Amino acid sequence: MKTIKIVALLAVVLTATHALAAEQLQIDGSTTVGPIGDAFAEAFKDKASITVSKTGSGDGAAALLEGRCDIAMMSRFMKDAEFKAAVEKGIMPVAHAIAMDGVCTVVHPSNPVSALTSEQIRDIYMCKITNWKEVGGADMPIVVISRDTSSGTYETFEGLVMNKEKMGDCVEYVNSNPQMHARVKSTIGAIGYVGLGFLDRNVKALKVNDVIPTRSTIAKGIYPVSRPLFLFTNGYPKLGSMIFQFCTFHLTEEGQEIIEDKGFVAVTAY
């Protein structure tokens, strides 16, 4: 009799704790959108227990397809192959554009060059121009730095500036925005590209085709190298559910404040 009582009590306690366990949310994906995901997760931490895993846009899409995550953060739209694979598996990916990001070309602040055309940038990255004096700067070799080929930032840069041309083999690769910022900050002859949120007094943003990247030029689409950041879900989330609240948080004032604090442009900025 005693054993049965103990077992019953244990069962009740276990089910109670399981029921009380907060709702779980799994978010995978891009390292660029990662900081926004982290900050949103912090805002929701009393209502749900959220896991944010930053392994890359491609992995986020794969996780969504396999049902391993509830929301996929991606800094690019889904590729055709991914979309097709998703539909075949019965997943309908729905995109929520939560912020805009601009990819700004940066150089060391001591570099006298302050504006380049996109053709010049393309030639630099294809290793046809190798010295700063060819574009009006000092006589110094150009240290060309790029993001690794599987990053969404790289793809935006490749699509909008390189026009899908291959980069030359003098290009160094780094794995993330902060690394890029650190390299350009400490290397006098460097040129690289970072997201808008990484512009500060340690790097200088170049004008591209005479447009300076700022919040308003990106929001209005005047700055050519800008892109939206997405959250992908399987179908439109049920109204009022935790996923729904997460995906519409960018429409609230707090969400926009977070997005701006993280250095991105809120979609409704203008």
Partner 1 sequence: MSKNTSKPSSNPAAAQFSRPLRLSVSQDLRGLLAKNIGHGILFSITFVSVLAVMAIFYFVVQESVPFIFKGGFRDSLSRVTEFLTSTAWYPQKEENPEYGALAIIVGSLYVTFCSLIIAVPIGVLAAVFLSDIAPFSVRQYCKPIIEILAAIPSVAYGVFAVMVVAPWMQKTLGFSTGTNAINASLILSVMALPTIISVAEDALSAIGREIREASYGLGATRAETMIKVVIPAAHSGIIAAVILGMMRAIGETMVVWMASGNSSRIPSPWWDLSQSVRTMTATIAGELGEVPKDTDHYYVLFAIGLLLLIFTFGLNMTSEFFMTRFKKKSRGL
Partner 2 sequence: MQVRIRQAWNHLFTILSSGSIVLLVAALLLFLIPMLRKGIPAVVFRGTVEFRKMQAELFDRGDTMALQKETEQTWQARQEIYTILDHFSRGIDTEKLTDEAKDLYRDYGQILRYQETPKEQYTELRGRAKEIRDHLLDAFESTDKDEIAAHLDAIEALRDEAAFSGTPVEKMFTMTGDFRKLIATVDLSKRDIFADELEVVKEELYNLFGPRPDEQTPQLAMKRFGATRWDVAEKHLTFLVWQEKWIPSDDGQTLVAKQVRRDDPLEGSFAGTELAPLFSLTEKILKDTMKPRFTLYWQYFIDDSTPGHYFGGVGPEVLGTLLLTLLAMCFSIPLGVISAAYLVEYAGDNLIVKIIRICINTLAGVPSIVYGLFGMAFFVAYITKQPGVLSASMTLALLVLPVIIRASEEAIRAVPQTYREAAMGLGAGKFRSFLTVTLPAAGPGILTGIILSLSRAAGETAPILFAGAAALAPIPDFGGKWWLQETRALSYGCYDITVGDKLAMMVPHKQFGMVMTLIILVLCLNVIAIVIRSRMSKKLRGM
Residues lying near partner 2 in the complex (CB under 8 A): 17-18, 20-21, 24, 31, 34-35, 37-39, 41-43, 49-55, 68, 109-112, 137-140, 174-179, 181-182, 188, 197-198, 201, 254, 257-258, 261-263
Q: Which of 50, 121, 143, 199 binds partner 1 (CB under 8 A)?
A: 143
Q: Kindly state the smallest distance separating residue 261's Cβ from partner 2, in Å.
A: 5
CA atoms of 71 and 234, how far apart (whole Å): 8
H or E stretch covering 232: strand 226-234
Phi and psi, residue 179, nearest 5°: -65, -45
Q: Which stretch binds partner 1 (CB under 8 A): 49-57, 101-109, 113-121, 203-211?
A: 49-57
Q: Which is nearer to partner 2, 66 or 165 (CB)?
A: 66
Q: Which does 5 bind (CB under 5 to 8 A by kind): partner 2, partner 1, none?
A: none
Q: Which stretch binds partner 1 (CB under 8 A): 111-119, 149-157, 191-199, 220-228?
A: 149-157
Residue whose C-alpha is closest to residue 194's, from 179, 207, 209 = 179
Could you give the residue ranges of the DSSP H alpha helices within 103-188? Answer: 118-125, 152-160, 177-186
Q: Does residue 5 bind partner 1 (CB under 8 A)?
A: no
Q: Which does 143 bind (CB under 5 to 8 A by kind): partner 2, partner 1, none?
A: partner 1
H or E stretch covering 64: helix 57-66
Q: Which does 197 bind (CB under 5 to 8 A by kind): partner 2, partner 1, none?
A: partner 2
* Beta carbons within 8 Å of 266's beta carbon, 6+ residues apart: 99, 100, 219, 250, 255, 256, 259, 260
**SS3 (DSSP) at 114:** coil
Q: Does residue 148 bind partner 1 (CB under 8 A)?
A: yes
**Cβ atoms of residues 238 and 94 within 8 Å:** no
Q: Kindly state the smallest distance separating residue 215's Cβ from partner 2, in Å.
A: 13
Q: Kindly state the smallest distance separating residue 31's Cβ from partner 1, in Å.
A: 9
